[in-house]
Structure 1
Amino acid sequence: MLAGLFAQGKTVLQQLVPSRDHTERLLRQMGAALESDGSLISLNPLTSPLRAISFTIPGDISSAAYFLVAGAVHPDARIMVRGCGFNPTRTGIIDALLAMGAKLRIKNERMSGNEPVADIVVESSKLRGIELGGEMIPRLIDEIPLLAVAGCFASGKTVIRDAAELRVKESDRIATVSRELTKM
């Protein structure tokens, strides 16, 4: 996408499913001529330099997910994560925990640098197993190992499908999670 800013003509990218859109949001705020409908992104080359902007980088929801899962499974917890990025392309972990019955609230929603930000509160919860797959997976691919842990504390079965990408990340995360969960 960044190379498209300096191309001779329009750059068009097509995604199989909508994915994280942080770059698109930032480029738009900096003045890039960019359009997106979720699966199709078109970008015109720069006609002038991008403009400088000032904003606070929000907390990473993948990092916050450790605390959210810990708060949900702990028998006596109340945790607030402040200033967490709340981009809808990344909030699958929130939707999954809510579906599992987590006592989770979103507070103080706002924008920072063209990105949604919120405070997230989670409390001790009685989780139930769920089935995840399909279009939800890209929104929580990095949090699936944590959801597997949450599933260990849930009543009923937790099933995660369509996550083969985890086998080809930096390590085979499916094999690693399976191996480590057997130690619990």
Structure 2
Amino acid sequence: MQPIQLAVVVGSVRAGRVGPIVAEWVRGIAAERNTLEVVEVDLAEFELPNTLIPSDETERFTRAIGACDAFVFVTPEYNHGVPGSLKTALDTVKYEWRAKPVGFVSYGGLGGGVRATEQLRQITAELHMVSVRDSVSLHRVRKRFDSAGGIDDAAAVDALGRLLDQIEWWADAVTGARQRAEYPG
């Protein structure tokens, strides 16, 4: 069986962002599984237009998304919501998101990004994605990681394991379904 192509998507493009540190932790845990092949998708490496007009850059992004079987969105919460960069990325691609599982690792201050995750559940449902039940919420994120990228939050480590288990299950299920019939959405 081929490993699942799991994209860990960094949803923030702000200067000074902590997203890459969180994403590296997620990729490290996911890479320990021989059933997953981890792909990094950092939105800061793409110039996605807010106008959603197709371009060479949007085509490059669409191909990157289309090559993946499943996703983990690593997202902060900005003003009680999803960062504009992640919403633009979701709106830029259409069919390549469909019938693929997605999990959420959110971070922030005291709220831990949970409101961004709840909004993403609604958005990804509209895109015909399958959001897994378990998620990770990192509260006071800047205090969670040491200088080597290690985390002091055992509950988050446990939650990430369950999230990845569910991603793997759903990726296997939808891959089998796609082999039997084209997705009807």
For the superposition of Structure 1 and Structure 2, which TM-score range results when normalised by the shorter chain? under 0.3
TM-score relative to the length of structure 2: 0.27
TM-score, length-normalised on structure 1? 0.27
Structure with the largest fraction of helix: 2
